[in-house]
Structure 1
Amino acid sequence: MQQRAVETRQLILEKAAEVFDEGGYRAARIAEIMHRAGITQGALYFHFSSKLDLARTVMLAQRESVVLPPGPDGLQRLIDTTLLLAHELQTNKLLRAGVRLAVEQEEIGFVDDSPYQEWAEVFRGQLEAAATRGELRSHVEVDRLAVLLVGCYTGVQHFSKLANARADLPDRIADLWHYMLLGIAPPQVAAEMIVNPEPPLLAAG
């Protein structure tokens, strides 16, 4: 029974993510989420107290929905992570919904910067490793750069979403790195970094 409850909760999150991603919070209907999940109202409210609770849970689950790319910690893995996220945002509905709800949250009725802070922590970890490996210029402040990168990424992905449903997002993130590397990495390190906007599996082949 415990395993079934875990599976039901995950199913609700996935179907809610589909609905939130398609139309945003205000257009989402609990009845539609229940229909897609094939559950009763009682089953849904057993796991989530309200539509707002469900939306907030989806928003906070975005980091857990992505497996970071392999490789040693450092600047290259950070670049690979941001490019992987660009492709995930084209297909991963839980991530897409979480990002959309994070952008919409003031309109929804809650304010929580923890999704942004979680990604800043991921980026900070890779930047700290990069600094230890001598991959960053001496003037770079890791904490400030991590927050800046999250802000830049948020803006770029939102612009791409509005412009063409994120079809060009990997290319835009690659552009971001081509310019950012000039300011944060020594020339020889910047020249060694691989910034490939192709899907990871295709790039590996």
Structure 2
Amino acid sequence: MTGRVVKQERAVRTRAALLHAAAETFAEYGFAGTTVSRIAERAGLTLGALYFHFKSKEELARLIVTGQPELVVPQLDSQGLQHAVDLTLTWAHQLLDDPVLRAGARLVMDQELFIKPSVNSYRQWTGILLDDFEQARRRRELRADVDTEAYVRLIVGSCTGAQIHTQLETSHRDLPARVEEMWRCLLPALAVPSVARKVRFGEERARVASS
């Protein structure tokens, strides 16, 4: 292995360590309470190393928030409404232990400080779920009068609200239950009865998705 390759691998590890440390620090202290010094100290690196890879804590926060959808990938193969359910349940269960997702949950109210409105997490998740709902429409899973955009906005808003509420009450421990509760309330109104009966969610799917 050449010296150049070793340096590249070291740089990749350093960058990953800084992102992980930043996520843990944002999750613990929030955006306002986080400093680059705290991030560097948690990573066990110097400020020089941090500034070599990242310009500011704003850049770190931006990368953490915008990169969240890449982390939430259901392991079970599904489409349409079932995929939307699997996606939100996977997110809810992973958030319990994933520092990057927990940081995103803490940063959600501060996004205007470091990210453009056109690319914030709300718009990201809305776009992803809208794709699922459009697929569900093509598969004739939805009731004829369902406004897909309105329901997607409602779901993203409900998940955001549940994330904030459960963080205050249980440190997110009951977030998966709140997400499942949301779907149980919404499915009868948006899905045709035969599809609503077939949608699966809860522990039996989340256990596989979060393994």
TM-score (norm 2): 0.87
Task: Quote how far apart the aligned CAs of 1:202 are.
Answer: 6.0
Alpha-carbon distance in 1 for matches of 2:114, 2:128:
27
Provide closer, same or farther for how the CA distance between residues 5 and 196 of structure 1 changes in structure 2, counting only shifts above 3 A.
same
Partner of 1:53: 59
Aligned residue identity for 1:139: D
Task: Quote how far apart the aligned CAs of 1:111 are.
Answer: 5.1
Partner of 2:176: 170
Provide closer, same or farther for how the CA distance between residues 95 and 203 of structure 1 changes in structure 2, counting only shifts above 3 A.
closer
Is the Cα contact below 8 Å between 2:81 and 2:136 reproduced in 1? yes
1:151 aligned to 148, 157, 171, which one? 157
Provide closer, same or farther for how the CA distance between residues 111 and 99 of structure 1 changes in structure 2, counting only shifts above 3 A.
farther
Provide closer, same or farther for how the CA distance between residues 27 and 203 of structure 1 changes in structure 2, counting only shifts above 3 A.
closer
Alignment gaps of 5+ in structure 1: none
1:66 aligned to 48, 69, 72, which one? 72
Partner of 2:147: 141
1:116 aligned to 115, 122, 131, which one? 122
Q: For 1:4-44, what per-residue CA distance to the aligned partner results, in whole angstroms no more than 9, with x for missing partners? A: 32222121111100010011112223222112212211110
1:78 aligned to 81, 84, 89, which one? 84
Is the Cα contact below 8 Å between 2:90 and 2:210 reproduced in 1? no
Alpha-carbon distance in 2 for matches of 1:91, 1:193:
26
Task: Quote how far apart the aligned CAs of 1:117 are.
Answer: 1.4
Partner of 1:92: 98
The alignment of Structure 1 onto Structure 2 pairs a total of residues equal to 204
1:28 aligned to 30, 34, 51, which one? 34
Provide closer, same or farther for how the CA distance between residues 3 and 93 of structure 1 changes in structure 2, counting only shifts above 3 A.
same
Alignment gaps of 5+ in structure 2: 1-6
Is the Cα contact below 8 Å between 2:61 and 2:114 reproduced in 1? no
Is the Cα contact below 8 Å between 1:62 and 1:99 reproduced in 2? no
Alpha-carbon distance in 2 for matches of 1:8, 1:203:
29
Task: Quote how far apart the aligned CAs of 1:155 are.
Answer: 0.9
Provide closer, same or farther for how the CA distance between residues 204 and 58 of structure 1 changes in structure 2, counting only shifts above 3 A.
closer
Q: Which moved more, 1:35-44 or 1:15-24?
A: 35-44
Task: Report the identity percentage.
Answer: 39
Partner of 1:132: 138
Alpha-carbon distance in 2 for matches of 1:127, 1:149:
11
1:185 paired with 2:184, answer no
Provide closer, same or farther for how the CA distance between residues 37 and 115 of structure 1 changes in structure 2, counting only shifts above 3 A.
same
Provide closer, same or farther for how the CA distance between residues 4 and 35 of structure 1 changes in structure 2, counting only shifts above 3 A.
same
Q: For 1:27-71, what per-residue CA distance to the aligned partner results, in whole angstroms no more than 9, with x for missing partners? A: 223222112212211110011111222222222222222223331
SS in structure 2 at match of 1:172: helix
Aligned residue identity for 2:21: K
Alpha-carbon distance in 1 for matches of 2:150, 2:73:
25
